[in-house]
Amino acid sequence: MAGTSLIILAAGLGSRMNSDLPKVLHPLAGAPMLHHAMQAGRALDPVRTVIVAGHGAAEVEKAARVYDPDVEVVLQAEQLGTGHAVRQAAGLLTGQSGDAVVLYGDTPFIRAETLEAMQAARARHAVVVLGFRHEGPGRYGRLVTQGEALERIVEYKDATAEERAITLCNSGVICAQTSVLLDLVAAVGNDNASGEYYLTDIVQIARERGLTAGVVICDEAETLGINTRAELSQAEAAFQARARAEALENGVTLTAPETVFLALDTVIGRDAVIGPNVVFGPRVTIESGAEVRAFCHLEGCHISRGATVGPFARLRPGAELAEDVHVGNFVEIKNAVLDEGVKVGHLTYLGDAHVGEKTNIGAGTITCNYDGVNKHHTEIGPRVFIGSNTMLVAPVTVGRDAMTGSGSVITEDVPAEALAIGRARQVTKPGMAVRLMDLFLSKKKKV
């Protein structure tokens, strides 16, 4: 099986995050950091994806499988360096044809075009390293070049003053033929300032074996690595700025772009309108021409063409709004399908429900879906009128063209075309209000 394999390094603890959660699982744009690296790698249409996990390996594996069920995970029990990490993949990738690309799980923003440029550069070099220029290059590894050729990579700790003055840095992304990469990492030693097996040493080893190495240079922003919470928040800001710009470019109206928060997998169609202060969690799709008004929180939902949502609405996982549905203020919808033209204007909770087309849900309606132990379904037919403040005690069915009276507690199925009223009948006592008031006042004077 030819084609590119990905090796994603994700074993590090990330101690500077000061967290119990493995670093690569910290959320960025509603997805674990690791998913961003996996998404970047997807540009190469990989035949294999190997994650090298260490700290929190079981959790890392679980999260990786959410993105790609076919991912392979290998354990690096002790973190002895990036070269050692790549070596762990040998058990899985020995004999694999095609190239291998090494990515870091904590470096989320590598662009598809950049990885494609590296792939193209492989026609000229056995080993291709992704570099970037940085005027204050700090502790990054430095790329020592000779004209076009990459001679070696020197880690900051091991670099001379002259080498530290180099501003061409190592991003960490490396590409080579899989068999070559595995041969090279097998030869890496740990005789250096950190006592670690450096992946970066493969360049010099390649040169000694008569192989050539080259550099592809990308923008520094792409190589942003996350080591601290501060860097995580900067990465979030960078992601949001880019995602908003992309949405605008794609024909989405964002009234106040800087207040809208998008997720890695948000999909918004052309001519959709998104008001201020709208937050997108994972798995939201919005069709062309839908409108989401100010202050909505959306997660795991689908909004069809012509639908309007908000202001102040919350759509939770499994909320499916068909065309021309209207969801108004202070409405929460979870695991519920609303057919075409349904109106849910105000102050309502719909959970575990299906609502037929053109049904109107009155203000204050609640599907009482939870009995304290189990969740139950509410089925509401088409063209139903649910009176305000109806409690629908699930499991319950309201048939087509039926009505419920305001304030009803509906515990039994309502047949099609019927009116159901479940509340105490009103009692009216003429003059009673005035007599009561007099009584209360006389009592107050005595005390």
Catalytic positions, written as ranges: 346
State the minimum distance, in angstroms, from the CB of residue 22 to ligand UD1. Answer: 9
Report residue 98 as tokens: 């095609």
CA–CA distances in Å: residue 367 to residues 153, 301, 373, 379, 396:
63, 19, 15, 10, 9
Q: What is the DSSP letter of 158?
A: G
Nearest position to ligand UD1, beta carbon: 141
141 binds, among Ca ion, ligand UD1, none (CB under 5 to 8 A by kind): ligand UD1
104 binds, among Ca ion, ligand UD1, none (CB under 5 to 8 A by kind): ligand UD1
The piece of 81-89, 160-168, 224-232, 275-283 that touches Ca ion (CB under 5 A) is 224-232
State the minimum distance, in angstroms, from the CB of residue 279 to ligand UD1. Answer: 28
State the minimum distance, in angstroms, from the CB of residue 181 to ligand UD1. Answer: 14
Between 200 and 369, whose beta carbon lies closer to ligand UD1?
A: 200
Q: What is the DSSP letter of 126?
A: S
State the minimum distance, in angstroms, from the CB of residue 37 to ligand UD1. Answer: 9
390 binds, among Ca ion, ligand UD1, none (CB under 5 to 8 A by kind): none
Q: How far apart (Å, rounded) are the C-alpha atoms in residues 97 and 99?
A: 7
Between 54 and 56, whose beta carbon lies closer to ligand UD1?
A: 54
306 binds, among Ca ion, ligand UD1, none (CB under 5 to 8 A by kind): none
State the minimum distance, in angstroms, from the CB of residue 366 to ligand UD1. Answer: 47
Give DSSP secondary structure letters for 18-82. -SSS-GGGSEETTEEHHHHHHHHHHTT--SEEEEEEBTBHHHHHHHHHHH-TT-EEEE-SS---H
Q: How far apart (Å, rounded) are the C-alpha atoms in residues 340 and 354?
A: 12
The piece of 119-127, 198-206, 218-226, 337-345 that touches Ca ion (CB under 5 A) is 218-226
On whether the CB atoms of residues 206 and 184 are closer than 8 A, the answer is yes
Contacts of 221 (CB under 8 A, 6+ apart): 109, 238
Between 40 and 169, whose beta carbon lies closer to ligand UD1?
A: 169
State the minimum distance, in angstroms, from the CB of residue 123 to ligand UD1. Answer: 25
The piece of 68-76, 150-158, 223-231, 245-253 that touches Ca ion (CB under 5 A) is 223-231
State the minimum distance, in angstroms, from the CB of residue 39 to ligand UD1. Answer: 16
Between 51 and 263, whose beta carbon lies closer to Ca ion?
A: 51
Nearest alpha-carbon partner for 253 in 278, 277, 276, 274:
274
CA–CA distances in Å: residue 50 to residues 71, 95, 104, 174, 278:
6, 15, 12, 15, 36
Between 82 and 329, whose beta carbon lies closer to Ca ion?
A: 82
Positions touching ligand UD1 (CB under 6 A) are 9-12, 52, 54, 76, 79-82, 84-85, 104-106, 140-141, 153, 155, 169-172, 198-200, 225
392 binds, among Ca ion, ligand UD1, none (CB under 5 to 8 A by kind): none
Other Cβ atoms within 10 Å of 113 Cβ, number: 11
Between 85 and 363, whose beta carbon lies closer to ligand UD1?
A: 85
98 binds, among ligand UD1, Ca ion, none (CB under 5 to 8 A by kind): none
Between 83 and 275, whose beta carbon lies closer to ligand UD1?
A: 83
Nearest position to Ca ion, beta carbon: 225
Nearest alpha-carbon partner for 83 in 167, 206, 169:
206
Place of tokens 């074996």: 209
Q: What is the DSSP letter of 426?
A: P
On whether the CB atoms of residues 266 and 250 are closer than 8 A, the answer is no
Nearest alpha-carbon partner for 221 in 120, 61, 114, 121:
114
155 binds, among Ca ion, ligand UD1, none (CB under 5 to 8 A by kind): ligand UD1
Binding site for Ca ion (CB under 5 A): 225
